[in-house]
Amino acid sequence: MNLQNKVALVTGGGAGIGRSIAIDLAMHGADVMIVDRQSADQVIDEIKKIGRKVFAAQADVSSFSESSRAVAVTLESLCRLDLLINNAGINKDGVVWKMTEEQWDAVIDVNLKGCFNFIRAVAPIFKEQKSGKIVNITSINGLRGKFGQANYAASKAGIIGLTKTVARELGKFNVNVNAVAPGMVETEMMRVLPQDVKDKSISETVLERVAQPEDIAHVVTFLCSDYARHITGEVIKVDGGQYI
C-alpha cells in the first residue's frame, strides 16, 4: 500500500490507537498532522525516525473553531490534505439512571461532534480537489449497545449514521467515507476498566484475545489506500469475532 504524497490528519494521534494509526500511515509513506489535546512529542519523534514530515496541533476536537483551525494549520504546514482519521474519543461510563448531564454532553461532544467538526472542515477541500478519504473510528458498542455506556454507545452509533450520510453526499466527488468498529483494544482506555469487564470481553471474543492498536491501524491504512477505492459507507468490525 503506497500513501506517498498523501497528507493525513489523525485526531487523538498522541496515544493509543491514534498513535498507531499515525505511525502506520507514515510507514506507508504519508506525511502526518497529529491533532490531540495532549502533547504528541513521542509520536512526532517516532514518525521523524521513519523519515516522514510530521506536525502536531494541540486542539480539543469538541471545539468547532479549534477543529477548523487545526485543518487550516495542516494546509499551512503540509500544503495539502488527503486523509482524515477521526479517532479521538473518550468514555465516561455509568448506568443511565445515574448518568449526569456532564457525562452525557462530554462524550457526545468529543466522540460525535468532534467527527462532525473535522468532516465539516475538510469536506469543502475534498469536494474541490475531487479526492479524499475519511475514516471514522466507531465501536462495536455503537452497533450492539453496552451496559453502562448509553452516552458512548449513542455517540458511536451516531458516527455510523454520520459515516453513511457523508459517504452519500461526497461520493460523487470521489471521496470514500468509512468507519472502523473495534472491539476491545489494549490502550489506556481499556486499562482503566474493571478486571471483570475485561475478562468478560475476552471470553466473548472468538479469537480469545484483546486487539493491539496495530490491528486497527492496518485496517485504517487499507481503507486509506487505493486497494479500498470501491469501498464507501461501510462499517468494518475489527473485533476478533467479539460481536458476530
Active centre residues (catalytic): 152
- Closer to ligand NAD by CB, 103 or 174: give it: 103
Binding-site member from 3, 71, 88, 157 for ligand NAD (CB under 6 A)? 88
Phi first, then psi, for residue 133 (nearest 5°) are -130, 135
Binding-site member from 3, 7, 8, 15 for ligand NAD (CB under 6 A)? 15
Binding-site member from 74, 117, 139, 176 for ligand NAD (CB under 6 A)? 139
For position 117 contacting ligand NAD by CB under 6 A, the verdict is no
d(CA 153, CA 148): 9
For position 87 contacting ligand NAD by CB under 6 A, the verdict is yes
- Interface map 182-211 toward ligand NAD (x if CB under 6 A): x-xx-xxxx---------------------
d(CA 120, CA 138): 18
Q: Are the beta carbons of 87 and 114 closer than 8 angstroms?
A: no
**76: Cβ contacts below 8 Å, ≥ 6 apart:** none
Binding-site member from 27, 29, 53, 60 for ligand NAD (CB under 6 A)? 60
For position 27 contacting ligand NAD by CB under 6 A, the verdict is no
DSSP string, 3-32: -TT-EEEEETTTSHHHHHHHHHHHHTT-EE
For residue 201, list its beta bridge partners: none
Residues found near ligand NAD in the complex (CB under 6 A): 11-12, 14-18, 36-38, 60-62, 87-90, 110, 137, 139, 182, 184-185, 187-190
